[in-house]
């Protein structure tokens, strides 16, 4: 299958997938689709999917594959996905990766490129423990880069909040789930020949520069 425009962002919780996806989707002119964001919107909106997903998310476990694959399949049918998608947080299990390969094949979108962002575990825990997200615009920040006591978004002035799964026990669980269920995807995509490994340390702009260089080479 020829390589298409769709791009997958792999990385442990806190590796900076969301931060990078915002920069890279703009640079590459493709749509940012985050399964975590779609699920959180469903939880906030009180939908049936949100009700099914909430308990898994709060514990730091993965939402069942069938729910996720149906959700992504439906999202890919929308018009705004026609020019390419940057997948953030999907796929996360081997069955999800195989389902995506099949969907891309069936719809003639071509093979996805895969960027794996690599960050040491100690730094992941630091990043997740201090993350703040804006309720208004979704801007992602970290307490270490905000003036002490700031509770509003530096971009839009919206309220900053801490995600319910960014507390110690769910963080531990998410990292364990990632090691067990998502890391095998490195081998899956490595063997298909589309895997680009990128050092995720240093300022976000430097990480984005490395990812873009890898994607364009």
Tokens 């909106």 -> residue: 45
Candidates 121, 125, 129; CA nearest to 162 is 129
Give the CA radius of gyration of the chain: 17
Residue 113 annotated as catalytic: no
Mark 116-155 with x for binding to ligand AP5 (rule: CB under 6 A) and - for no binding: -----------xx-xx--------xxx-------------
Residue 59 annotated as catalytic: no
Residues 6+ apart with CB under 8 A from 40: 57
Q: Given candidates 188, 204, 209, 212, which one binds ligand AP5 under the rule CB under 6 A? A: 204
Candidates 199, 4, 204, 13; CA nearest to 86 is 4
Inter-residue contact 66 to 93 (CB < 8 Å): no
Residue ranges of alpha helices (H) inside 60-120 are 65-76, 94-106
Only one of the segments 78-86, 108-116, 187-195, 200-208 lies at the binding site for ligand AP5 (rule: CB under 6 A); that segment is 200-208
Size of the site for ligand AP5 (CB under 6 A): 34
Nearest residue to ligand AP5, scored by beta-carbon proximity: 36
Distances (CA, A) of 48 to 52, 53, 61: 6, 9, 18
Residue 211 interacts with ligand AP5 (CB under 6 A): yes or no: no
CB nearer ligand AP5, residue 48 or residue 108:
48
Residues 6+ apart with CB under 8 A from 189: 8, 10, 97, 114, 116, 195
Only one of the segments 14-22, 24-32, 76-84, 186-194 lies at the binding site for ligand AP5 (rule: CB under 6 A); that segment is 14-22
Mark 168-197 with x for binding to ligand AP5 (rule: CB under 6 A) and - for no binding: ------x-----------------------
CB nearer ligand AP5, residue 18 or residue 84:
18
Residue 52 annotated as catalytic: no
Strand pairing category for 3-10 and 31-34: unpaired
Site of interaction with ligand AP5 (CB under 6 A): 11, 13-19, 35-36, 39, 56-57, 60-63, 68, 89-90, 92, 96, 127-128, 130-131, 140-142, 165, 174, 203-204, 207
Give the catalytic positions in this structure: 17, 92, 131, 163, 174
């Amino acid at each position: 299958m020829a390589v298409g425009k769709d791009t997958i962002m792999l990385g442990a919780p806190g590796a900076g997938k969301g931060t990078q996806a915002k920069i890279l989707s703009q640079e590459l002119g493709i749509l940012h689709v985050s399964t975590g964001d779609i699920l959180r919107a469903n939880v906030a909106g009180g939908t049936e999917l949100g009700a099914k997903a909430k308990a898994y998310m709060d514990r730091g476990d993965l939402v069942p594959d069938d729910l996720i694959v149906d959700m992504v399949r439906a999202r890919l049918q929308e018009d705004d996905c026609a020019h390419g998608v940057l997948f953030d947080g999907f796929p996360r299990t081997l069955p999800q990766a195989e389902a995506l390969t099949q969907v891309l094949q069936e719809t003639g979108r071509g093979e996805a490129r895969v960027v794996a962002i690599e960050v040491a575990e100690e730094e992941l825990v630091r990043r997740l423990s201090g993350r703040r997200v804006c309720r208004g615009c979704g801007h992602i920040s970290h307490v270490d880069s905000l003036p002490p006591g700031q509770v509003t978004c530096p971009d839009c002035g919206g309220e900053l909040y801490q995600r319910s799964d960014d507390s110690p026990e769910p963080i531990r669980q998410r990292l364990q789930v990632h090691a067990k269920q998502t890391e095998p995807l490195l081998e899956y995509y490595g063997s298909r020949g589309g895997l680009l490994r990128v050092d995720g340390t240093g300022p976000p702009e430097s990480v984005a520069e490395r990812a873009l260089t890898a994607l364009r080479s």
